[in-house]
């Protein structure tokens, strides 16, 4: 049995959706969540969904029965470190064979509080006696869905970094393909009995194949939407935080989220629909994580292309240009 945590948050939801594309494996997937509403379709498709309190030992003990492997998808909860600590402790006591941790590239930072939380969780995993692999994804292409309402209204892209700051974003589909390659035995369409020696005890940085700066981002947006007057405007972190905090009150964004939830409920899981989802307004910890990421790459130039993803999957990563092209309608300025 494979356990995926935080299936009601975007990272866990996307991983569950991706692996759920294999109907024969759905009965061997267990999902943990706090909000079961998001996971009802997974349950209808044959997955085992457990609504749990991550800080409750009995809840976790029941959820871990019969589980061999865990995909620990770190979400955006205020208590994510303690949640992970309790889960890992209970998992070790339950005899878990392996943990695949989906962390964050910013775990390498030593000065940002929310990014350091990922490093804290990584240490918890490393200190176990079971097999483990850690994935550190860079900026997700899908994060830009949260900017769509702003671009629609104001026709420019606001980021809290200079226009020459470079970043190397990766698509969620590529992260899921890496996970699939690590845990799925395609010869018998089942989970691997254990992690390959090549990947056990490894930390992989997952980035896209292209370095971009804000000016180039705007050019890609302009080409995808056909709107030639798109421009880049650096913004203050506090202004971007205000925009995100108010996003849940945006009626257009709210309508989009309601439409997406209806799509989620009817998703057949056979495509990659999770790539087109904004999923919801960001929480306070998610906002802070994004702002600290931008501050980190601006001050340290730490977002660089690393070929770990194509090395594992033997496939090229999807480009950011393709992401904008596929989702162009959501970014087009209103007439």
* Spatial separation of the C-alpha atoms in residues 50 and 7, rounded to whole Å: 10
Q: Average pLDDT of 137-145?
A: 98
Residues 6+ apart with CB under 8 A from 282: 76, 146, 244, 247, 290
Full set of structural domains in the chain with CATH: 2-331 (3.40.50.720)
Chain mean pLDDT for the chain: 95
Helix (H, G, I), strand (E, B) or coil at 63: helix
Instruction: Count Cβ atoms below 10 Å from residue 162 Cβ, excluding itself.
Output: 12
Tokens 């896209």 appear where? 208
- Give the mean model confidence (pLDDT) for residues 226-232: 90
Given a cut of 70, whether residue 335 has pLDDT beyond it is no
- Element of type H or E holding 240: helix 237-247
319 torsion bin: left (phi>0), alpha (psi -120 to 50), beta (else): beta
- Prediction pTM value: 0.96
What is the predicted pLDDT for the residue at 92?
94
Integer Cα distance of 264 and 37 in angstroms = 10
- How remote is the C-alpha of 333 from its chain's centroid? 27
CA atoms within 13 A on the CB side of 121: 33
Given a cut of 70, whether residue 249 has pLDDT beyond it is yes
CB-CB contact of 149 with 231 (8 Å): no
- How confident is the model over 70-111, as pLDDT tens digits? 999 999 999 999 999 999 999 999 999 999 999 999 999 999
Instruction: Say if residue 276's pLDDT is above 70.
Output: yes
């Amino acid at each position: 049995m494979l356990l995926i945590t935080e299936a009601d948050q975007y990272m866990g939801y996307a991983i569950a959706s991706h692996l759920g594309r294999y109907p024969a494996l759905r009965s061997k997937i267990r999902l943990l969540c706090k909000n079961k509403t998001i996971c009802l379709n997974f349950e209808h498709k044959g997955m085992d969904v457990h609504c749990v309190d991550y800080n409750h030992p009995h809840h976790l003990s029941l959820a871990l029965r019969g589980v061999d492997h865990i995909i620990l998808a770190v979400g955006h909860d205020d208590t994510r470190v303690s949640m992970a600590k309790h889960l890992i402790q209970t998992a070790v006591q339950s005899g878990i064979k392996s943990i695949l941790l989906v962390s964050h590239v910013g775990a390498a930072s030593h000065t940002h509080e929310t990014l350091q939380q990922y490093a804290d969780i990584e240490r918890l995993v490393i200190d176990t006696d079971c097999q483990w692999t850690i994935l550190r994804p860079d900026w997700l292409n899908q994060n830009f869905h949260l900017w769509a309402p702003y671009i629609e209204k104001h026709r420019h892209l606001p980021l809290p970094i200079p226009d020459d700051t470079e970043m190397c974003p990766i698509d969620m589909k590529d992260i899921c393909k890496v996970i699939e390659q690590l845990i799925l035995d395609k010869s018998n369409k089942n989970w691997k009995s254990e992690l390959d020696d090549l990947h056990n005890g490894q930390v992989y940085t997952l980035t896209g194949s292209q370095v971009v700066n804000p000016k180039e981002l705007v050019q890609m947006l302009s080409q995808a939407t056909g709107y030639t007057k798109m421009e880049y405007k650096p913004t203050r972190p506090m202004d971007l935080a205000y925009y995100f905090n108010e996003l849940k009150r945006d009626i257009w964004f709210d309508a989009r989220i309601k439409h997406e939830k209806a799509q989620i409920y009817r998703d057949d899981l056979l495509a990659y629909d999770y790539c087109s989802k904004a999923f919801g307004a960001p929480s306070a910890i998610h906002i802070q994580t994004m702002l600290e990421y931008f501050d980190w790459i601006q001050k340290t130039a730490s977002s660089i292309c690393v070929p770990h993803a194509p090395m594992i999957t033997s496939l090229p990563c999807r480009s950011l240009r393709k992401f904008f092209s596929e989702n162009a309608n959501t970014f087009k300025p209103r007439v």
